[in-house]
Amino acid sequence: MLSKRSTLAAAALSFAAALAASHAIAADEPVIGLITKTETNPFFVKMKEGATAEAKARGAKLLSAAGKADGDNAGQIAAMENMIAAGAKTIMITPSDSKAIIPAIKKAQAKGVMVIALDSPTDPQESTDALFATDNYKAGVLIGEYAKAALAASAPGKPVKIATLDLLPGHPVGAQRHNGFLKGFGLASFDAKNNELAKPAEVVCMADSFGDRAKGQTAMENCLQKNPDINLVYTINEPAAAGAFNALQKAGKEKGVMIVSVDGGCDGIKDVAGGKIAATSQQYPLKMAAMGVAAGIEYAKTGKKVSGYTDTGVTLIAAKPVAGIDSKDTKVGTELCWGKK
């Protein structure tokens, strides 16, 4: 009969062998990281869902993390370092700060890690190995063209007074959407490579919303105090648009002001259908994440890195079609939306 001590030793050896075996299996499993700007924005929730599903289907391990809020560069750097320590050979990231994150990306690449930007490019864009994202300038152009045509049809000859509820200073996504919107509306603007925000005379108020509903409402309230005759509002995303609508409703002006936006989340499409938002440019975060995971697995298997920019598509969704503007209705938008339905 074995002694109690020898029995425990045998059990310990058996456990150690099992642990070693599990580590051997895990060693063959590609480890891919996903770092988003926040955990609460429906866009990034769907991105994580897409990455999780793709990783599970393809036999990869997904590590995920997020900043505490837009602009939390330190949180994203810490997440990147932790993922590298955990064995990640590909890291997908939506940069909160397009410039400040670059040194951390360079350190990761020096260790053989492939870094893919999703949705938001770095500045310069070439700092990551690849970018899978919406053409944000085009997204802005689409809603600008729609707004111009819709206003011309509903209020011909009426001077336009625009408020823009932007993201945050210097961010490429915010600049591209803002400047694309102005370009689509036919106003003086910058091209897609310029991260400054154009301000033609027709823009009577510009404010940072950080893509947040509450901040969007405050920004709109401030704009109305300065310029109560605003009749067109561009917002960086639909949470900011919802905040803008709340402010307009509170002021009794919601029926006389058009709001256009970008994102295409399910709540946003509901707001289009409900008349709160006139039109939005719908993007596809699940597709971005799935493509990133596939590229990470290919890199793990073959050592081949993906490179350059891949356009993941954008569609104009509008409640009311306008002659000469190609758009899809809210039924299509609902079928393709992400987030809550």
pLDDT tens-digit readout, 168-209: 888 889 999 999 999 999 999 999 999 999 999 999 999 999
Provide, rounded to the nearest whole percent, the portion of the chain with pLDDT above 70. Answer: 91
CA-based nearest residue to 339, from 275, 287, 289, 286: 286
Question: For position 22, what pLDDT does the model report?
Answer: 37
SS3 264: coil
- Residue 73: pLDDT above 50? yes
**Of residues 278 and 4, more confidently modeled:** 278
Question: For position 15, what pLDDT does the model report?
Answer: 34
Q: Per DSSP, which regions of the chain are E strands?
A: 31-36, 61-66, 90-93, 114-118, 130-133, 162-166, 203-208, 232-235, 258-263, 279-282, 308-311, 315-318
- Residue 283: pLDDT above 70? yes
- Domains (ranges, CATH) in the chain? 4-134+285-306 (3.40.50.2300), 136-282+315-336 (3.40.50.2300)
Peptide bond into 239 cis (omega under 30): no
Cβ neighbourhood burial of 106 (10 Å; 0-12, 13-18, 19+): exposed
Contacts of 1 (CB under 8 A, 6+ apart): none
Task: Tell me the pLDDT tens digit for each residue of 291-316.
Answer: 999 999 999 999 999 999 999 999 99
**Of residues 341 and 253, more confidently modeled:** 253
